[in-house]
Amino acid sequence: MNVIKTAIDGVVIIEPRLFKDDRGYFFESFSERDFNAQVRTVRFVQDNESKSSYGVLRGLHFQKPPFAQSKLVRVVKGAVLDVAVDIRKGSPTFGQHVAVELTEENHRQFFIPRGFAHGFSVLTDEVIFQYKCDNFYAPQSEGAIAWDDPALGIDWKIPAEKVILSEKDKHHPLLKDADWLFSYGEELYPKIRKQSQWQSQLQ
């Protein structure tokens, strides 16, 4: 796989190695070994899938510690604009974002570390969106900021009048008004416990 760095440290785009022939194609969508070696050590524990239509915008969401989440996202049908926003107070890139188009044709994946808010807009008639999380969903720890915060300057690539939001996503605060944010430098990745002896013997 090819790991592409972005303007914000830790936020990366991943391009898989595609094998094509007359039958179609094959690629590894995830390798724990390669991901941990080339991106960072993460233990994903939950896979999710959503289906959305043109104009749907989901975001900007995050989970607070101890349930903070990293996400590895991709599209298997259609196209989205996927966005990660740095919401770590004190970060040199606080309030900045990275946006990348993920499509069924480019097979790109986008890694959003803990400490960031995440959202996406749907650019095609239909999208099937898949993502891996390294912490379980915890509704009591949900956080969010407004998708249209002018201070963020995000171009979602769809007209504002076409945006379709959940009722909840219509009422999130601006970044400057958020009642809770991450702090730059705080440890968001507790060390993953080593394998037990019997697990090691099985390998």
The amino acid at residue 12 is V
C-alpha separations of 76 from 101, 147, 194, 198 in Å? 13, 24, 34, 37
Nearest to 80 by CA among 50, 39, 48, 47: 50
User: Who contacts 146 (Cβ-Cβ below 8 Å, separation ≥6)?
Assistant: 60, 172, 173, 174, 175
CB-count burial class (<10 Å; 0-12, 13-18, 19+) for 15: middle
- Residues annotated as part of the active site: 61, 131
72 touches 30 (CB < 8 A): yes
Q: Per the structure block, which two tokens stand in for 19?
A: 């094998």
Cα within 13 Å of Cα(29), Cβ side: 13
